[in-house]
């Protein structure tokens, strides 16, 4: 976009995983930082100016990496999964093909699709959950103002019915389409700015929220387009609780109705209740910074069903993720009180691992071993359960209103390296306070399933008991809980359980004609002795350090195939996996010409042998001349 678009320097990166968990900022904790501040880039670990962010219930994070012309997907623990815009993992060239993007600025996601506001192509692109192109809304490369066209669409949102909401920036409107991409309605919103910072969000009632950057406000419209709420003072920038300075992104909590605003030039995120009353500020107003709980021009914000807040911290080149343990209206401090000295339990969601400075290290007990679940994502050592072996998973949680307020606890499991999801898990075990236990296990992974719940004065203990029924690879889990006030928490657990032992790999006997060497000297000696020219391949890689510079990271082996006259070099990692190999066909050594001289076989190519023979013959000639009394 050229006209009406602020020039943006190429400034954003996310080198993953700069992790710092549970740093407290009032009632909000820093869960995870994806990024290495100050280093823009184009590979899979970097951004080059990010605008929109989105998050799905599984915890996966989607980021519109505008200047790299792509959308990137990360797992809940910050691991890179894939990108949309081009093949590979590096930056994409701007393009207009179905799998290409040009300055994407907005992204939204539902259970099966990813929606991208492809701004400079004047369209919205729809992809499936794996990033495969499905559909285009708009006319590629053709701006327009009728129902079938966009003019620099900047933001996109999707509701629970699959309806698509597009902030059509230069047309000053919100376009609404059904789940098939058919136009449904246009809401004329004259205040939508001609700006790529036109964040849009929608709540469960169909209310639409628009970040009106250049009027320094956020507006809420009902489904008919009637203005219901304005947050901020129209046309007046400011830095107090009632003002914005270029609000760029907006999100709505589906449970509480709280409104989150990325207040970009104030370098903060503002949180308001559903009526527009200020509740909390994340960041130091007007002060850009690189530390946790500081931002530098935040533009994207999203919130998941567990209350986790995802912020695109644009000029710090990172995504910051926060967990809102408690957000209440007040004058800067949460209005929470308690007569004891213990930190307060969560006022938003069940806690599996502790609150504030109090961490209980037994939020998860698996096969008799205990683990802390106070992190947003937790890796644990792999537990191997033999087929037929009973297994117990015990979950400990603390609730704001006491143990009797528990409502629902579930464990979602995925196998075969699949990214953790709740909506299509391979296996779901749950218990509901009113409806009892439930098992969703269409492929019969387990048997003898049972759930028990115990309460004491502080905690709720839920134990899932079952027997592994079939061998399965490593699993990942999501542990989730609801309380009686519809507060939700979920923790992603990697490592988890493997059903059945690792398969036994039967070694193959080495054929007699294939020789393997752990050093290049012995390999060259064998090749030359067999009548071949020393291979050039062996000269290129003559030791392990040329491939594995760090100690104990891998090794190299040299192979000689005497039947087919070939050599090869294979490189292995520490687990014995072959990661690189190269082969060469050998050349037979030329037949060496020899001559018989004075009863000796001489090799004309052997300089030392020839020199000794020459010296010997010269001496013999002198002796002959002396015996003949021949003198000069």
Q: What percent of the chain has pLDDT over 90?
A: 35
Q: Domains in the chain, please, with CATH?
A: 29-324 (2.120.10.30), 358-499 (2.60.40.10), 514-631 (no CATH)
CA angle 150, 249, 45 (to 5 degrees): 95
Q: What is the pLDDT of residue 503?
A: 61
Closest CA to 170 of 158, 185, 155: 155
Q: What is the pLDDT of residue 585?
A: 93
pLDDT digits (tens, 9 = 90+) for 303-362: 987 778 999 988 888 888 887 654 555 443 332 223 333 334 444 467 787 654 456 778
**Based on the number of CB atoms within 10 Å of its own CB, is 357 exposed (0-12), middle (13-18) or buried (19 or more)?**
exposed
Burial 389-415 (b: 16+ CB within 10 A, else e): eebebbbbbbbbebbebbbbbbbbbbb
Closest CA to 399 of 425, 435, 433: 433
The pTM is what?
0.54
pLDDT bucket at 230, cuts 50 / 70 / 90: very high
In the predicted structure, residue 57 carries a pLDDT above the cut 70: no
Q: How far apart are alpha carbons 268 and 270 in whole angstroms?
A: 6
Q: How far apart are alpha carbons 37 and 13 in whole angstroms?
A: 7
pLDDT digits (tens, 9 = 90+) for 501-546: 766 655 666 778 889 998 888 999 999 999 999 898 888 787 777 7
Closest CA to 264 of 315, 302, 220, 219: 315
Q: How far apart are alpha carbons 622 and 131 in whole angstroms?
A: 90
> Do the beta carbons of residue 305 and residue 345 sit within 8 Å?
no
User: By three-state DSSP, how is residue 622 classified?
Assistant: helix
Mean pLDDT of 249-262: 90
Q: What is the pLDDT of residue 25?
A: 43
18 secondary structure, DSSP code: B
Q: How far apart are alpha carbons 116 and 106 in whole angstroms?
A: 6
């Amino acid at each position: 976009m050229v006209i009406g678009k602020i020039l943006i320097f190429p400034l954003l990166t996310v080198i993953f995983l700069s992790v710092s968990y549970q740093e407290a900022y009032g009632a909000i904790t820093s869960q995870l930082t994806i990024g290495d501040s100050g280093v823009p880039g184009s590979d899979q670990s970097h951004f080059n100016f990010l605008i929109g962010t989105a998050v799905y219930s599984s915890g996966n994070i989607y980021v519109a990496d505008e200047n790299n012309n792509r959308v990137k997907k990360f797992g809940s623990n910050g691991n890179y999964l894939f990108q949309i815009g081009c093949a590979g993992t590096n930056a994409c060239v701007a393009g207009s093909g179905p799998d290409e993007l040009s300055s994407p600025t907005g992204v939204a996601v539902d259970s099966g699709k990813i929606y991208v506001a492809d701004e400079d192509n004047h369209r919205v692109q729809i992809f499936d959950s794996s990033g495969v192109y499905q559909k285009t809304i708009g006319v590629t490369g053709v701006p327009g103002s009728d129902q079938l066209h966009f003019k620099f669409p900047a933001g996109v949102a999707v509701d629970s019915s699959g309806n698509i909401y597009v902030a059509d920036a230069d047309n000053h409107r919100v376009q609404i389409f059904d789940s098939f991409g058919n136009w449904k309605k246009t809401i004329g919103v004259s205040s939508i700015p001609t700006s790529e910072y036109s964040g849009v969000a929608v709540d469960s009632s169909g209310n639409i929220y628009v970040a009106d950057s250049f009027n320094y406000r956020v507006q809420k419209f009902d489904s008919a387009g009637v203005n219901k709420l304005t947050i901020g003072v129209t046309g007046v920038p400011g830095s107090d609780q009632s003002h914005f300075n270029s609000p760029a992104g907006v999100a709505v909590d589906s449970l509480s109705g709280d409104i989150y605003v990325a207040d970009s030039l104030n370098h903060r995120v503002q949180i308001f209740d559903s009526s527009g009353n200020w509740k909390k500020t994340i960041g130091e107003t007007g002060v850009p910074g690189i530390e946790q709980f500081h931002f530098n021009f935040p533009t994207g914000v999203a919130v998941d069903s567990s209350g986790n807040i995802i912020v695109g911290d644009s000029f710090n080149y990172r995504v910051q993720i926060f967990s809102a343990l408690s957000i209440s209206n007040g004058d800067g401090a949460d209005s929470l009180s308690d007569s004891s000295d213990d930190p307060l339990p969560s006022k938003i969601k069940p806690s599996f691992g502790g609150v504030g400075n109090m961490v209980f290290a037994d939020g998860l007990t698996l096969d008799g071993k205990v683990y802390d679940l106070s992190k947003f994502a937790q890796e644990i050592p792999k537990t191997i359960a033999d087929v037929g072996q009973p297994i117990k998973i015990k979950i400990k949680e603390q609730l704001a209103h006491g143990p009797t307020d528990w409502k629902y606890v579930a464990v979602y499991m995925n196998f075969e390296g699949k990214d953790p999801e709740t909506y299509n898990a391979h296996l779901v075990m749950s218990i509901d306070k009113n409806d009892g236990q439930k098992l969703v296990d269409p492929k019969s992974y387990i048997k003898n399933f049972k759930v028990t719940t115990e309460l004491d004065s502080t905690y709720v203990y839920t134990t899932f008991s079952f027997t592994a029924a079939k061998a399965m690879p490593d699993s990942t889990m999501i542990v989730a809980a609801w309380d009686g006030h519809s507060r939700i928490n979920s923790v992603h657990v990697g490592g988890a359980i493997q059903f059945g032992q690792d398969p036994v790999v039967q070694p193959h006997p080495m054929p007699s004609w294939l020789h393997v060497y752990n050093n290049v000297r012995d390999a060259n000696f064998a090749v030359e002795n067999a009548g071949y020219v020393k291979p050039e391949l062996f000269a290129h890689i003559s030791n392990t350090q040329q491939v594995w510079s760090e100690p104990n990271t891998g090794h190299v082996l040299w192979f000689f195939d005497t039947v087919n006259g070939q050599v090869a070099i294979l490189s292995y990692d520490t687990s014995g996996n072959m990661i690189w190999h190269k082969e060469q066909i050998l050349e037979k050594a030329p037949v060496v010409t020899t001559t018989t001289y004075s009863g000796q076989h001489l090799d004309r190519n052997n300089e030392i042998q020839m020199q000794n023979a020459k010296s010997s013959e010269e001496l013999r000639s002198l002796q002959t001349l002396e015996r003949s009394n021949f003198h000069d």
